[in-house]
Amino acid sequence: MSFSNWMERLKQRTKPMLHSINHHTKTITKTASTYIATNKKVALSVSAGLVLTVVGGAAASAYYQSNVIPVYHVSVNGKEVGIVSSPDVVQQWEKEKLQQEQEKHNGLTLKLSDYISFTEENLYKGQFDNEATLKTLDQTAKIQVEATKIIVNGDVIGYAANQEQAELVLTTLKDKLSGVKLNASGKKAVAAASLESVAKNSAIKQVKFKEEISTEEESVPADEVLTADKLEALLSKGTAQQVVHTVGEGDCITCIAKRYGITSKDIYANNAGMNENTVLQLGQKINVTAIRPKVTVQVVEEVKQDEMIDYSTETRTNAKVPKGETNVIQDGKEGKKQVTYQVTRENGEVVDREMLSQQVIAQPVTKIIERGSKVIPSRGTGRISWPAGGYISSGFGSRWGRLHAGIDIAGSGIARAADNGRVVEAGWHGGYGNMILIDHGNGLQTLYGHLSKIEVRVGEVVEQGKEIGVKGSTGDSTGVHLHFEVRKNGVPQNPMKYLSR
């Protein structure tokens, strides 16, 4: 307030008092003049009274002025919040407030975001309340800091302390989510474990954020500025804080996931060793943080890798080989080729794989199979041939008080079909051990017992002389041999009658 304004206000406030003094002074003067004219003896006394009156008026004016003190109206953003005795009171509060916040926010440069102004006023015995004003300021005035906001696709994600911190967080996140760290020349320096199998023959073409990311400077409340760790967590997980659920009565993984708006897979990923078979325990702590990255790091990589070429199979028909039999004439062998792919990964996961070129290193070798087409009749010729080589160790007839229903051909070797026919039994059969029974379709059947190996199956049609098994000593046997029987209409016959023909 200017001096002329102050004087004018003082004049207005003292005007009634001065008017009263002047009025009384004039009255006294007039009365004194009249009195002097009529009575000159009291003239001296009246003059003295007049002087005292004038002196008293001046003293009153001085007393008033001595009690007029300046006070200061404090406003925040144009709105008055209180009256203080001096601007120094508020300025000292501001200094201390900033210092306190500075210690809490790791040395960031802080400032009051609100505009504080003062209006001076001189009042007679002016009233002020410093304490109440400062209390109101504590509640209304906001501390802010110049920070760098990170914007993803137009949305503000969070605030870094400065541009340098924001860039460091984004670079660290790019390395972590891509699984690839580039050196100063832009070449791959380190590959994630998931890329180790192709790392030697790969070249990084591009590493970038899929989203549009920008930064801007802005004044924000100091509490909104995040540390580098929290900002990185916010960008990579979608939240800066871990959410933990305590298992209660009736909880299950699916219902917990539904409650927090996540999936069971999120819970399995957040909690090592947990899967669909995990039994929850009361009081168990489960991380239910919904990991939804705010950013996507896209890596475009050119990968060279060797791949096998499948061989083809060629089947040839041989009329001399019985139908149903196959022989491998030539084994197949896989070929080899080198293939170049352009692989696109998003946060480490392959989302696209495009083949750019391929070069054959070794041609595959075709597998050739010979398949028989010769139809073998299931009806026998009636001429029984020797089923195995060796000598007869026991003939047909009574032995040990009972009928020996066949002959025993001693020695090791293979067993062959005695005539054309169909296999009606092949497997374990009591005292016969491993046994084969062939029906020749003409009333005759032949039996082959004590085999160590069976090489035909029930229902299979066999040709006379075909290998059907290997001699052995299974079942009731005292040595390696073939027990051979010939049956006619189910009745055992002496095989020698048919073998000698």
CATH of the domain at 340: 2.20.230.10
Length of the chain: 501
In a domain, 382, yes or no: no
> Which candidate, 299, 94, 287, places its Cα nearest to that of 191?
299
Give the domain range for residue 479.
391-499
Beta strands in 257-396 (DSSP E): 285-287, 297-309, 313-322, 326-330, 335-346, 349-362, 367-374, 391-394
Return mean pLDDT, the chain. 82
How far is C-alpha 85 from the geometric centre of its chain's CA atoms?
60
Q: What is the mean pLDDT of residues 329-349?
A: 91
Residue 141, Cβ density class (10 Å: 0-12 exposed, 13-18 middle, ≥19 buried): buried
Tens-digit pLDDT profile for residues 72-114: 998 888 889 889 888 998 888 888 887 777 776 665 666 665 6
The predicted pLDDT at position 181 comes to 63
**Confidence tier at 41 by pLDDT (50, 70, 90):** very low
Residue 134 lies in a domain: yes
Longest dimension (CA), the chain: 199
Q: Do 244 and 268 reside in the same domain of the chain? A: yes
Listed residues 322, 342, 373: the one ending a domain: 373
Query: Terminal CA-to-CA distance of the chain, rounded, Å?
Result: 148
> Which tokens is 464 given?
């006379």
How many domains are contained in the chain? 5
Residues 493 and 405 in one domain: yes
Whether this prediction's pTM lies above 0.85 is answered by no
User: Of the candidates 141, 166, 194, which is a domain's last residue?
Assistant: 141
Token pair recorded at residue 88 = 């120094």
pLDDT in tens, 132-184: 988 888 887 777 788 899 999 998 988 988 899 999 999 998 888 887 665 54
Structure-block tokens of residue 361: 């290193």
Q: Residue 333 falls within a domain, yes or no? A: yes
Beta-carbon contacts of residue 395 (< 8 Å; ≥ 6 apart): 404, 407, 496
Amino acid 125: pLDDT? 79
Residues 282 and 157 in one domain: yes
Query: Does residue 385 lie in a domain region?
Result: no
Share of the chain above pLDDT 90, in %: 39
- Flag whether 265 is in a domain: yes
Token reading at 220: 């924000």
The owner of tokens 């990579």 is 236
Q: Is there a single domain that holds both residue 451 and residue 493? A: yes
Residue 146 domain-assigned (yes or no): no
367 within 8 A of 331, measured Cβ to Cβ: yes
pLDDT band at 302 (very low <50, low <70, confident <90, very high): very high
Residues 359, 477 share a domain: no
How far is 303 from 343, CA to CA, in rounded Å?
Answer: 7
